[in-house]
Amino acid sequence: MKVLLLEDEAKIRSFIEKGLKAEGFVLDSVDNGDDALQLAFHTPYDAIVLDIMIPGTDGLSILKQLRAKKINVPVILATARGTLDDRLEGLNLGADDYLAKPFHVDELIARLHAIVRRTQGGNMNLVSLEDLTMNLGTREVTRGDQEIELTPREFNLLELLMRSPGRVYTRTQILDAVWNYDFDPNTNLVDVYIKRIRAKVDFKEPPLIETVRGVGYRMKKPS
């Protein structure tokens, strides 16, 4: 899951960053509204977390502009404000959830998973291809009756490929989506992870992960 975080307090931002990344989230984190707005306009996110009480362009202003442009990405508002009026204002502007500070990062993680499942629809909780099934809520993966254990990063890479079977992803696209890295022509990080996932997923016929020589990788189209 790719998330944008707007939080101007460095300690809180660092705490949230560590918690989300430890759970395998791909994160863009900024400390001002102008940067957050530009990223939100030009980058497809699964969810956005906005602090309301920051100088300049605050979370509510960003939310207004996103909804005015028909960008319906799920948004969680995080703020020290706790009155009913504040919550209603954010929800009436199109926020999907509201989290009052201080909060535990585990609660934020649960809320993020919940709003993405809710906005994508319940049927999106399971992603399947042939006899390979991924549960996005429980983060469980099975092939046939065999449970497959994946690291958070392996899970995110497999999810990327499974969501669009037949689509070829270049190494650059995979690095950006899964690691949020700029492309380094000398890195073999993607190839290493594809090899790891293949060893876990393609232990039986037919193989599901395909190499497109000179381009990248894709999941086999459904038969």
Q: In the prediction, which pLDDT does 120 show?
A: 64
Strands of the chain (E only): list them: 2-6, 26-30, 47-51, 75-79, 97-100, 126-129, 132-135, 140-143, 146-148, 169-170, 209-212, 216-219
In this structure, are 37 and 145 located in the same domain? no
Condensed to tens digits (0 to 9), the pLDDT of residues 14-60 reads 999 999 988 888 899 999 999 999 999 988 888 999 998 888 888 88
Both tokens assigned to 1 = 């899951």
Q: Are residues 95 and 155 in the same domain?
A: no
Give residue 108's pLDDT: 93
CATH code of the domain in which 66 resides: 3.40.50.2300
Are 150 and 68 found together in one domain? no
* Cβ proximity of 133 and 142 under 8 Å: yes
**Number of domains making up the chain:** 2
Q: Are residues 114 and 24 in the same domain?
A: yes
Q: Which of 82, 98, 117 is nearest to 50 (CA)?
A: 98
Same domain, 134 and 112: no
Domain that holds residue 197: 124-219
| Distances, alpha carbon 152 to alpha carbons 10, 25, 55, 75, 139, in Å | 25, 8, 35, 23, 9
DSSP one-letter string for 149-202: ---HHHHHHHHHHHHSTT--EEHHHHIIIII-PPP-TT--HHHHHHHHHHHHH-
Identify whether residues 111 and 20 lie together within a single domain: yes
* pLDDT at 55 (0 to 100): 83
pLDDT of residue 125: 67
Q: What is the pLDDT of residue 126?
A: 77
Nearest in space to 136 (alpha carbons), one of 150, 125, 152, 123: 125
Among the three residues 85, 120, 155, which one is the final residue of a domain in this structure? 120
At 48, the amino acid letter reads: I
Nearest to 193 by CA among 161, 168, 164, 222: 161
Cis amide leading into 206 (omega within 30)? yes
Query: Torsion angle, CA of 80/83/84/87, rounded to 10 degrees?
Result: -20
For position 58, what pLDDT does the model report? 87
131, 108: one domain: no
Judge if 77 and 138 occupy the same domain.
no
Specify whether the CB–CB gap between 79 and 100 falls below 8 A.
yes
One domain for residues 116 and 27: yes
Helix (H, G, I), strand (E, B) or coil at 19: helix
Kindly give the parts of the chain with pLDDT less than 50. none
For residue 203, the domain's CATH number is 1.10.10.10
Domain boundary among 70, 86, 120: 120
Distance (Å, whole) CA 167 – CA 152: 22
Q: Domain check: are 113 and 141 in the same one?
A: no
Q: Whole-angstrom Cα distance, residue 23 to residue 139?
A: 11
Domain boundary among 98, 120, 142: 120
Which residue from 99, 93, 86, 73 is spatially nearest to 16, judged by alpha carbons? 99
- 8 token code pair: 């101007």
- Looking at the fold, whether 7 and 67 belong to one and the same domain comes out as yes
Main-chain dihedrals φ then ψ at residue 130, nearest 5 degrees: 55, -125
Q: Do residues 128 and 190 share a domain?
A: yes
